[in-house]
Each structure stands twice: as C-alpha cells, then as structure tokens.
Amino acid sequence: MELKTFRASTMALCLAEVKSNLGKDAVILHTRTHKVGGVMGLGTRQVVEITAGPPAPPGPRAAPARRLVNGTPVRDEFVPTEFVQRPAPAETPAGVGPRPALAAAPAAPEPVAAPRPPRLATTASLAPTSDAARSTLHDELASIKVLLGQVLQVSRVATLHAQRAGAGVPAAVVALGGLPRPLMDLYSRLLEQDVDGAMADELIAAVRDDLTSDELADEGTVRQALLRHMSAFVPAVDRVTPAGRQPDGRPLTIALVGPTGVGKTTTLAKLAAAYKLRQGKKVGLITSDTYRIAAVDQLRTYAGIIGLPLKVVLTPGEIVAACQSLADCDAILIDSAGRSQHDAGRLDELRKFVEAVAPHETHLVLSATASGPVMARTAERFAALAPTRVIFTKLDEAVSLGPLLGVTRRVGLKLSYFTTGQEVPDHIELAHSDRLARAILAGELVA
C-alpha cells in the first residue's frame, strides 16, 4: 500500500486533507499529535500528523487499521453494534467473523444517518478471554479515564480563561493538556480567584520551569513554589515607618489619597490610634475634606476619642501652615477628600494640596471590593499624585482577592497596610506579601 503522511494544525483539517487526497475510504494507519515552536512550552503550536493509504481491496479480514467514518478515525473491528447505526438491515455483527474493510463496504450512503450516537474506538476486545486481553482492556480504560479528566479540566480552565480575558482561549491554555495535575489544579484556582489570565499563565510557567518533574507531582511543593512567585508580585514594606523627626527636620508626614468611600478616613483613624495608643507617639491630624460636613465630623469624632489635634484646611496655603503648627508632633496624618478618577479638575486641586505638603509617604487607598480593571484605572489617575505606597481596604468584603495581584504589579508600588473591617483601631494590619498570596489562593484572609 502506498502510504502518505499529512500534517495540519487540527485533526479536522488533517482529516480533510486525507479525504481530499485519498478519498473518504482512506485507511488511516497512524495518527500523532506533537508540538512545535514556542518558549518554555508557552506559545507552542500543535501539529497533527496522519499517515494513511488508499482504500484496501475487499477480501478477508485485513490488518487492523483505522478508517474514517464521518471524519472520525475508528478501528474497523471491535466496534460494538449498539454504537453503530447501520442504514442497511443485513450486516454481519461486529467482531464476529471476517468483515470487509470499510473500503469495500457496499456503497453506504454518506453521511450515515445523522445524528448518530458517540462511537467508542478501542484496540482491546470488549469480551476479553485471556488475562492479557483483560489487562489490555483495563489499561486502555484507565488511559481513557486520564485523558477524559485532562480534557475536562483543560476545557474548564479554558472557559475560565476566556471569561477573564474576555477573548478566545490563548494558545498557552491549549498547551496545558500536559500539565501535571497539581499545577493544573492551582491554575484553575488562580483563575477562579479572578487572577488576571496572562498573569496566571506567567505564574504557572514560572513554577513549571522551577521544579523537576518529581517535584511537580507533589501538591505541597507546587503550592509552595506558586506562593513564592505570587509573593514576588506583591512586594510589601514589611514594617511600620517609625514616627519621629525625619532627615528634613519635619515630623513623619503621611497623606492618604484615593476615591470616595474606599475607607481613607477610617484607615487614617486606625493608623493614628496605632501610633498614639500602641507606640505612644504624638500624632496630629489634618483634613482637606471640606466638601461634606459629615466627613469633617467623622474625623473630628475619631480625633476626639483618640485625643488628637485636628486641623481643617481649605487651601494649599492653609495646609502648609497647619503642618507647621503641628511641627512638634512625631507624625502628621493627612486625610483628603475622595476624588472620582473621572473628575480631572478636582484631582488636580488635590494634587496641589499634596504637592504643597510634600509628604514623606503618600498612600494610595484602594478598596479590594472593586474589580481589577476599576482598581487599575483608579491607580492610573491617581498616579498624578505620585503615591509611594498602596493600602488595600475591605479585604473582609472582597469576593475574590486575585485582582490585587495584577493591580499591585501594574502600580509598581509596595503595599503598606491591609484593612479588614470597620472597627477602629483593630481592623488594620501591616501588609505581608506571603499572607496576601495565601489569601488569594484561599479566597479570604486566613489566620
């Protein structure tokens, strides 16, 4: 028989090639799928290869060969009759006696009546008579089970990925079929927790490159490696900046900026309480949030309870004077009015306040309850205020923490604090990369 090898990017295309070259009754002897190109397994291209020959002449039972039925390669013998819908009544039962090769099948109308039930193809006898045959059947069923599991998981991951990316499934996901189970599980976990798709790809590729194949089979080792890589994406300050006189002679001056309602005032009160009550430092408060009477009252109430001086300022000139009047403090904490990232004019006004003070630290406050794209856009607009740190608030209320990974990386600033509830002063903690990485995988902060 004259054999030919056909190659294409998908099985369907390759089969179409075979059909158009050798006809619909072509005999398929071998199929193989392999990958070409790409870097570290990502971006590889799949190539499907089919070796086929022309239809075999009619005659006694030919050597086992696969054939095309409606574009699907199947083994000729051992196809259980219940899976085959035959148009003609008189047909030799499958697996019994010699059957003509498909090539010689009497002009069966093509395609065969549709829709047809799924057809299983196996090389093992379904009624094994020997131990060897039983073992072959067992092995084949086991490998089908594994394959099916992989297919289901790849399709689950692909769906998640497509939802995240809002686009089709990238080549990287298609290439995931061969990922070890622990890595695949963590990959879907990242996507379930709303980690940006491209970032999840990057993390998984990094872990895979880091570990040996033995290590990749161990769930604990894979998890630790992933946490290490995730932590690297969310750098944190790791210590509270000590209050006290700074090299420029001024008290440590910290401003909080961010959109309305994210928790700036509450967080400022928590920080003030921590400096004063836990560290015994002398703290002064300033607010420029005079747009809402309630906003000043809110901070005044906290200042009264904690026992701190509060200055309310209306202009950039006044804020400089207020800082000078608090020069004997160890720390000056500045609250600001929330600014919509869509309101360029007011954002510019806030920028003038901040520039007049030149704080030692400006913390951008972002609520973890916002979506990744919203946080990213907000951070972009507030970049005009030259923030130096990021505070994530409301970690207790966020549905998933995955977006924090992408946002932190995009902003390129260290994390300073997380807040985890409404209570002043308790619901605040120093940011820790590892803790956040664990929380992202767990879906919540865990003790």
Ligand X SMILES: Nc1nc2c(ncn2[C@@H]2O[C@H](COP(=O)(O)OP(=O)(O)O)[C@@H](O)[C@H]2O)c(=O)[nH]1
> Residue 283 pairs with which residues in a beta bridge?
331
Q: Which two tokens stand for residue 164?
A: 């995240």
Q: How far is the CB of 267 from ligand X (least distance, A)?
A: 6
From the list Mg ion, ligand X, none, which binds 49 (C-beta under 5 to 8 Å, kind-based)? none
Length of the chain: 447
Q: Which is nearer to ligand X, 216 or 390 (CB)?
A: 390
Q: Nearest residue to ligand X, using CB?
A: 263
Site for ligand X, residues 129 to 148, rule: CB under 6 A: none
Q: Does 264 bind ligand X (CB under 6 A)?
A: yes
Q: Say if CB 336 and CB 257 are below 8 A apart.
A: yes
Report the chain's C-alpha Rg in angstroms. 33
Identify the CA nearest to 73 among candidates 140, 3, 120, 128: 120
Q: How far is the CB of 262 from ligand X (least distance, A)?
A: 4
Identify the CA nearest to 296 among candidates 314, 312, 272, 316: 312
Phi, psi dihedral angles at 398 (to 5 degrees): -70, 140
Concatenating the DSSP letter of every residue in 76-112 gives: STT--GGG---SSS--PPTTSS----GGGS----SS-
Residues sharing a CB contact under 8 Å with residue 101, sequence separation 6 or more, in sequence order: 27, 55, 56, 58, 59, 62, 65, 67, 76
Q: Which two tokens stand for residue 33?
A: 């799928």
Question: 356, 421, 429, 443: which one contacts ligand X (CB under 6 A)?
Answer: 421
C-alpha to C-alpha distance for 310 and 322, rounded to whole angstroms: 9
Q: Does 260 bind ligand X (CB under 6 A)?
A: yes
Site for ligand X, residues 375 to 394, rule: CB under 6 A: 393-394
Q: How far is the CB of 287 from ligand X (least distance, A)?
A: 9
From the list ligand X, Mg ion, none, which binds 422 (C-beta under 5 to 8 Å, kind-based)? ligand X
Residues touching ligand X: how many (CB under 6 A)? 17
From the list Mg ion, ligand X, none, which binds 393 (C-beta under 5 to 8 Å, kind-based)? ligand X
Q: Say if CB 390 and CB 268 are below 8 A apart.
A: no
Question: 193, 231, 419, 433: which one contacts ligand X (CB under 6 A)?
Answer: 419
Question: 17, 91, 361, 396: which one contacts ligand X (CB under 6 A)?
Answer: 396
Q: Which is nearer to Mg ion, 199 or 357 (CB)?
A: 357
Question: 143, 371, 422, 434: which one contacts ligand X (CB under 6 A)?
Answer: 422
C-alpha to C-alpha distance for 250 and 212, rounded to whole angstroms: 53
Q: Which is nearer to Mg ion, 69 or 295 (CB)?
A: 295
Which residue stretch of 125-133, 233-241, 255-263, 377-385 sits at the interface with ligand X (rule: CB under 6 A)?
A: 255-263
| Binding site residues, Mg ion, CB under 5 A | 264-265, 295
Q: Which is nearer to ligand X, 23 or 261 (CB)?
A: 261
User: Long-range contacts: 81-86, Cβ < 8 Å, 24+?
Assistant: 83/117, 83/118, 83/119, 83/120, 84/119, 85/112, 85/113, 85/116, 85/117, 86/112
SS3 426: coil
Q: Which is nearer to ligand X, 338 or 372 (CB)?
A: 338
C-alpha to C-alpha distance for 154 and 369, rounded to whole angstroms: 29
Q: Which two tokens stand for residue 82?
A: 């219940």
Q: Does 362 bind ligand X (CB under 6 A)?
A: no
Question: 67, 189, 427, 438: which one contacts ligand X (CB under 6 A)?
Answer: 427
SS3 29: strand
Q: Which is nearer to ligand X, 168 or 261 (CB)?
A: 261
Q: Does 265 bind ligand X (CB under 6 A)?
A: yes
Q: Nearest residue to Mg ion, using CB?
A: 265
What residues line the site for ligand X (CB under 6 A)? Answer: 260-266, 338, 393-394, 396-397, 419-422, 427
